[in-house]
Structure 1
Amino acid sequence: MSAGPVERPPGEAGGGSAAPASPRALAWRRRRHSLGRFWAGYRGNRAGLAGLAGLAVFVLIALCAPLLIGPADLSLTDAPGGPHEPPSAAYPLGTDNYGRSILDLVIWGSRVSLTVGFLATLMCVGLGTLVGIVAGHYGGFGSTVLMRITDWVLVLPALVLAVAFAAVMGQGTVTIILAIGLTAWPTTARLVRAQTLAVEARPYIDRAKALGGGHGHVMTRHVLPNVMPIVLAQTTLTVAESIIMESTMAFLGLGDPNTLSWGGTLQEARNAGAVSSGLWWHLLPPGLAIVLVALAFTLCGRAIEGVLNPRLRERR
């Protein structure tokens, strides 16, 4: 009597058995699966896809700006056009008071505005995440001190603090990045601390501590991965706020006068009397670029928050 076919567990092929996957391979497999689920949820949000497409266009324009614009096009003395020419075939968005193309200024200004937005956000979110995790994990008197400092910075107007920092440290792009990064972190810190307290109350944190896990292990291996969804969503929203703040500070004359940015273009338009003279083409393009980039980041942030937050997914 012949025996029936022998069932083999998954991973066995033929007569031999496949070696078990390593922990690193399993971790990468889980990450790829998580990314696949995230993208599947994200692409179901049309507003998020529109924001991502708009953001990709602006980033591509900023990267290709040196290939599209030459040094002579941005020169104050050798500009090819005449001052304040209205939009035409040669200059689709008109020219400024120096004869430079407004379209060239908007394209080149995207490099500074996006760079400041990304770097300031990286500093802001990094500082806020560090303060939030440390305050939520350790607790006690140190947490109280950190949160009182956070509350003090939070109730003060961020723009006023940024202007004060920039006035003390002097004009420059680095100054604007530091001013924004040092004043816009409290919101992230409060959100991360609240999430850290929720994670610390879970049973597996107690098991990790009982097995000998130290403070660094718990914060980096267990708390940080669980707060990253909030940090990621907050990052996209903070970039938009940073770009708007940079443009505002440049408009107030606190930016680097030798650097072209959207806020600096608006400041030049104000100094040239574009508002009273009705030169809308000097004001509208950089202002519209700021609005569109801020809207793109906001749409991306809301979409990411909707994918990562189970409660928001249930409401959809």
Structure 2
Amino acid sequence: MNTPTGPATAGPSADGTPPVPTLSASALARRRRREALVGFAREYARNRAGLLGLGLLLTIGVLAVTAPLFIDQTHLTITGAPGASHEPPSWRFPLGTDNFGRSILDLVIWGARVSLTVGLLATFVSVTLGTLVGVTAGHFGSSGGVGGRIVSTVLMRVTDWFLVLPTLVLAVALAAVLPRGTGTIIIAIGLTVWPPTARLVRAQTLAVEARPFVERARALGGGHAHVMGWHVLPNVMPVVLAQTTLLVATSIIAESTLAFLGMGDPTTISWGGILEAARTAGAISAGIWWYIVPPGLAIAVVALSFTLCGRAVESVINPRLRGQS
């Protein structure tokens, strides 16, 4: 016998009006998610600082992605430099040239590709690790019995150990031990900036674990993986999203610092690498400001933009902060 697959309908009302179709559980869930996204976008659009940060990031991102379309890669090499050494800003070179005659503007735009990529990937590693540790520690700390509390305690003591270590010193040590390259920078940053995310997610997990729907899930036989994956993780994701936007700025600054210290890949162009090359070429003592200011300003603008976006997301998630943004 065939069973109906369309939306269910309620029975006719007492006054004879036609029945009103009712949505299935999956359709209702999709509608609620869509309404939540629309509401999030509407609240975010009210934050002018967040819109400014988002606009700056979109502009820089578009320039970085489309850079190969209007920048000749041969002009980025030492042998194919189009200008003379240390030319000041002019119509031909709006930001001047470096000690090899390469356009600083081209270097800054091309360097955005590496700096943004490293910042985003390092943030992904950090947020993933911090979320995993935070959710696990919070869940087993509240409902795992004696063994679970031991697991939670061990995880948080490891987190505290990483938290008290100087982040830059630890990242430099990892970058010095591992082979030089972009992947090493990503790993070094990702493994050093995750503790604040872990502690924040753990606190949010403890709050979610105390809610009635989690207790009902346990009473119905839900295991640890089910509770963490289907009930805890979706409810801590807004906090994780806000933390992610804030960590990207930290990761980009860390990448620039490591590259400035000579820990980056010398074959790639990044903002920190440009600053390191300017220091090596003696641009600071020679007063060649156009070699130093543009990459430093790019780092500051991107870090500020991500911070503005993160604060805007945080104000949307936490209604108590909306009046302060």
TM-score where L is the length of structure 2: 0.92
Deviations 1:96-148 (A, max 9, x none): 00000000000000000000000000000000000000000012011000000
The 3-state SS of whatever aligns with 2:292 is: helix
Matched residues, percent identical? 66
Question: Can you give the 5+ residue segments of structure 2 that lack an aligned partner in the other structure?
Answer: 1-13, 142-148
Deviations 1:258-311 (A, max 9, x none): 000000000000001100000000000000000000000000000000000122
Aligned in 2, Cα 1:187/1:257: closer, same or farther, shift over 3 Å?
same
Residue aligning to 2:7: none
Aligned in 2, Cα 1:70/1:314: closer, same or farther, shift over 3 Å?
closer
- In the TM superposition, 1:292-307 aligns within 5 A as 292-307=301-316
Residue 224 (structure 2) pairs with residue 222 (structure 1): no
The 3-state SS of whatever aligns with 2:106 is: helix
Q: Distance in 2 between matches of 1:8 and 1:73?
A: 72
Residue 241 (structure 2) pairs with residue 232 (structure 1): yes
Q: One-letter code of the match for 1:51? A: G
Residue 312 (structure 2) pairs with residue 310 (structure 1): no
The 3-state SS of whatever aligns with 2:66 is: helix
Residue 215 (structure 2) pairs with residue 213 (structure 1): no
Residue aligning to 1:176: 185
Residue aligning to 1:185: 194
Q: Distance in 1 between matches of 2:20 and 2:118?
A: 51
Q: Distance in 2 between matches of 1:103 and 1:85?
A: 12
- In the TM superposition, 1:71-110 aligns within 5 A as 71-110=73-112
Q: Distance in 2 between matches of 1:198 and 1:115?
A: 34
Q: Distance in 2 between matches of 1:40 and 1:227?
A: 21
Q: One-letter code of the match for 1:77? A: T
- In the TM superposition, 1:1-316 aligns within 5 A as 6-11=16-21, 20-139=22-141, 140-313=149-322
Q: Distance in 2 between matches of 1:203 and 1:72?
A: 62
Residue aligning to 1:17: none
User: 1:21 Cα deviation (Å)?
Assistant: 2.7
Q: Distance in 2 between matches of 1:185 and 1:121?
A: 9
Q: Distance in 1 between matches of 2:66 and 2:323?
A: 41
Question: Can you give the 5+ residue segments of structure 1 that lack an aligned partner in the other structure?
Answer: 12-19
User: 1:9 Cα deviation (Å)?
Assistant: 4.6
Q: Distance in 2 between matches of 1:22 and 1:203?
A: 24
Q: One-letter code of the match for 2:16? A: V
Residue aligning to 1:14: none
Equivalent residues, number: 305
User: 1:28 Cα deviation (Å)?
Assistant: 1.3
Q: One-letter code of the match for 2:72? A: G
Residue aligning to 1:16: none
Deviations 1:156-201 (A, max 9, x none): 1111100000000021100000000001000000000000001111
Return structure 1 stretches of 4+ with deviation > 2 angstroms: 4-11, 20-24, 313-316
Q: Distance in 1 between matches of 2:319 and 2:298?
A: 33
User: 1:24 Cα deviation (Å)?
Assistant: 2.2
Q: Distance in 1 between matches of 2:58 and 2:312?
A: 16
Q: Distance in 2 between matches of 1:9 and 1:96?
A: 75
**Range moving further from structure 2, 61-70 or 280-289:** 61-70
Q: Distance in 2 between matches of 1:5 and 1:169?
A: 77
Q: Distance in 2 between matches of 1:313 and 1:107?
A: 35
Aligned in 2, Cα 1:315/1:297: closer, same or farther, shift over 3 Å?
closer
Q: One-letter code of the match for 1:26? A: L
Q: One-letter code of the match for 1:85? A: E
User: 1:10 Cα deviation (Å)?
Assistant: 3.3
User: 1:240 Cα deviation (Å)?
Assistant: 0.3
